[in-house]
A and B are shown apart, each in its own frame.
Chain A
Amino acid sequence: MNSKKIKNYLPQILTLLTIILIFGFFTFNAQINMDNRGIDFGFGFLKQEASFDIQFSLIEYSGTDTYFRAYLVGLINTLLVSVIGIFFCTIIGVIVGIARLSPNYLVEKLATIWVEFFRNIPLLLQLFFWYYAALRALPLPKDAVNFFDISYLSVKGWYIPKFVWTNFSIFFYSVIVAAISIFFIYRFAKKQREETGKYVPAFLLSFLTIIIVPALTFLIAGVSLSFEYPVLSQMTKTIFNFKGGVGIPPELMALALALSLYTSTFIAENVRAGIMGVGKGQKEAAASIGLTTGQILKLVVMPQALRIIIPPTTNQYLNLTKNSSLAAAIAYPDLVLVFAGTAMMQTGRAIEIISITMLTYLTISLSISALMNWYNKKVAIKEK
């Protein structure tokens, strides 16, 4: 018994010891080499003034802020492009995935071409294509592509109208109230169906709630919305730019485009695999009890398909987030460019900054993973 225990634990303890030793060796070695070269180690620099500006930031930032603030700007920009990418790649992926199973020859072939095309070209190349070939070929602001005088597309970016709200907070709370009501509408509908068998049009009711409740705030609570349109202004004889509105820099557009198109192909394949993974008998059984095609998809196929789709899709979301670090290649100020780029160069603190950056990506990835695992558990078969 005792020798069996040793046999079980000894290799594990030794492995752990080796890992600690190796880690210790690298730390020790780095420390000695840094001492030899007169480099000190510490995170005090995070409180120093960054003294460089960043092209694009969602939070208040200026060069007088600290390196930590610059880190936050980079982090938020990384999250922004990841969220945009995940949003669009999911929508495109689901549509293309379903289209690949379409009985319509043309639709099916187009979806196949889409997947094979965007999946088989390296992401960096696609990014370069969008940024250096497609978006750089856009006209100068003076000759920008005009969308109904409210939105303009130029080499300097895409300018869209800005929402100018009064009493935005009231509107915001009304949306929250609507969302909570929808939750109860669905609960009520489910209860009604289970207890009395009556069908309550929950979707229609929810739809009306989300429209009517916020709309009421416009009428009675003094909420109003106006638009600030971008206007072309002349800076010098030949230099023009847009004033007002919101400018989306071409770097962000290119990155979001490349990431969502590339990742959409993998999601499309996941969706296709998920739907195909649901047994044919399930659909036939559903059809035989008189469900419509839409109901079959919604009530029978999708709940089962999701179980197959979600785990590999989590992987794709993680990949997309990590791939967003390619931003550095096209000057989008993400975490890598701002923090592991400019900040690292200005402070020279390579080890500290790279460690922080790696830890940050690890945290983001683990959070996405945790969220998706939670969702996966929710849709998994519940054994009773």
Chain B
Amino acid sequence: MIKSLKSFTYLLVSVALLIGLQSEAFAAKKSKTLKNTIKKDFVRCGVSQGLPGFSNADAAGNWSGVDVDVCRAVAAAVLGDSGKVKFTPLSAKERFTALTSGEIDILSRNTTWTLSRDADIGLTFVGVNFYDGQGFMVRKDSGITSVNQFKNGISACTNIGTTTELNMRDFFNSKKITYEPVAFEKADEVVAAYDSGRCDTYTTDKSGLAAQRTKMKNPDEHIVLPETISKEPLGPVVRQGDSVWEDIVRWSLNVMIEAEEYGITSANADSMKTSENPQIKRLVGAEGELGAALGLGNDWSINIIKQVGNYGESYKRNISDTGILPNRGPNQLWTKGGLLYVPPAR
């Protein structure tokens, strides 16, 4: 009897504990993400497992890339230090679960903005930091120079869980070509499969093809075909339901693009404080109270520009100078014929 009494007590205690935990779950408050980020003193950012130019770690574990810079910009805006970011490398398959489950607070991992992702699975896309499109890579000696030369029975390697898989089907179906899709979980496995001749072509976003090409045994033996078969607007994603955090990430990215538009760079940001142009003064925090509207200090934007640089600097550092894509293409300011057009920060 005593024994069962004892186990009964244990049970009571564990039930009580469970109920206690339960009420914790109810205590969810608004803009938890910002509060938690300030408390932790670092931004939790999900990136790729290594895509040169977008998010790639060097031998010492330092991350760089245009996707990485979005997270650094948020850290500069919120915490005043672009270095306070904890990067979590994620596979295409893991990325959304990591974000919705609260393991990370920003997903900046060359992720395509689509309706179903935006609306259906508890995510919110905050903008576009790279306009991309899906393409194909083939071996140069194959003699293929256009997707129109693809024939029945071609095998195509790609990543699972990406829009690439869907676009590929649309493309081959519309061309009435039968094909063998071979889908791997990691980008490196896809590249290895293509490199070994398991697949005749490798398909993913064109920027990804250009970046992976630099990793190949012999980059000159491969070409990216000129055709683009889809629209792939890539951008950072946050969890649905925290509009304050969503605004912070959106405007951190927008500030980088607008700073380029107004010619503000990491080098001249301080001197721009005395500019005649009120919009420039607003962007460097010398006029107006833009930071307060986001719940941040007024130096949020100048911190981004000084520590991370404007969009053009980030692009040059990560994508042009590394030889991945020499030209800006559509990722040029609207004033110079590109697609980068952001709402005014005012």
Chain A residues proximal to chain B, CB less than 8 Å = 3, 7, 10-11, 14-15, 17-18, 21-22, 25, 28-29, 32-34, 36-39, 51-55, 63, 132, 136, 140, 155-156, 233, 235-239, 241, 243, 249-251, 328-329, 331, 333, 337, 341-342, 344-350
Contacts and interface: CB of A to CB of B under 8 A. Distances in A.
A37 B240 contact: yes
Contact of B22 (A25, A36, A333): A25
5 contacts: A11-B7, A36-B241, A236-B143, A331-B185, A348-B122
Interface string B172-212: 11000001111111000100110011101000000000000
A55 B182 contact: yes
B165 interface: yes
Contacts of A331: 160, 182-185, 189, 193
A156 B141 contact: no
Interface in B189-244: 189, 192-193, 196-198, 200, 239-241
Interface in B145-169: 149, 151, 153-155, 160-162, 165-166, 168-169
Given A10-B4, A25-B21, A238-B139, A37 B122 contact: yes
Contacts of A349: 121
Looking at chain A's contact residues, the main secondary structure is helix
B132 to A, nearest CB: 18
A37 B142 CA distance: 49
A36 B161 contact: no
B11 A29 contact: no
B165 A52 contact: yes
A28 B18 CA distance: 12
A29 B22 contact: yes
Contacts of B200: 235, 239, 241
A200 to B, nearest CB: 53
B161 A341 contact: yes
Counting chain A CB atoms within 10 Å of each CB, which of B14, B18, B241 scores highest?
Answer: B18
B4 A345 contact: no
Interface in B93-115: 93, 96-97, 100
B59 interface: no
A156 B93 contact: no
Interface in B1-59: 1, 4, 7-8, 11, 14-15, 18, 21-22, 25-26, 28
B92 interface: yes
Nearest to A341: B160
Nearest to B199: A156
A14 B8 contact: yes
Given A51-B169, A236-B143, A337-B183, A155 B18 contact: no
A236 B185 contact: no
A53 B156 CA distance: 11
Given A3-B1, A238-B141, A251-B182, 11 more contacts: A10-B4, A18-B15, A37-B122, A237-B143, A238-B142, A331-B184, A333-B183, A344-B161, A348-B96, A348-B100, A348-B123
A235 B153 contact: yes
A29 to B, nearest CB: 6
Contact of A155 (B14, B183, B196, B240): B196
Interface string B245-262: 000000000000000000
Nearest to A333: B183
Contact of B142 (A33, A233, A239): A239
B192 A132 contact: yes
Query: Across chains A and B, which 6 residue pairs bring their CB atoms closest together, nearest first?
Result: A345-B161, A348-B121, A237-B143, A39-B122, A37-B122, A38-B240
Contact of B28 (A36, A237, A238, A243): A36
Contact of B100 (A37, A239, A241): A37
B183 A55 contact: yes
Contacts of A28: 22
Given A235-B154, A346-B166, A341 B117 contact: no
Contacts of A140: 197
Contacts of B180: 55, 249
A25 B18 contact: yes
Contacts of B144: 236, 239
Nearest to B145: A236
B120 interface: yes
A243 B153 contact: yes
Nearest to B200: A239
Nearest to A242: B153
Contacts of B14: 18
B198 A63 contact: no
Contacts of A51: 166, 169-170
A250 B198 contact: yes
Contacts of A348: 96, 100, 116-117, 120-123
Contacts of B196: 136, 155
B4 A7 contact: yes
Contacts of A136: 192, 196, 198
A39 B124 CA distance: 12
Contacts of B151: 235-236
A32 to B, nearest CB: 5
Nearest to A250: B198
A346 B161 contact: yes
Contacts of A344: 93, 161
A344 B165 CA distance: 13
A336 to B, nearest CB: 10
A53 to B, nearest CB: 5
B161 A55 contact: no
Contacts of A239: 142, 144, 154, 200
A236 B142 contact: yes
A70 to B, nearest CB: 12
A175 B123 CA distance: 57
A156 B18 CA distance: 54
A342 B173 contact: no
B172 to A, nearest CB: 8
B42 to A, nearest CB: 22
Contact of A63 (B18, B123, B173): B173
A344 B100 CA distance: 14
A350 B97 contact: yes
Contacts of B8: 10-11, 14
Contacts of A52: 165-166, 169, 181
Contacts of B239: 37
Nearest to B198: A155
B214 to A, nearest CB: 22
Contact of B96 (A34, A233, A345): A345
Contacts of B189: 331
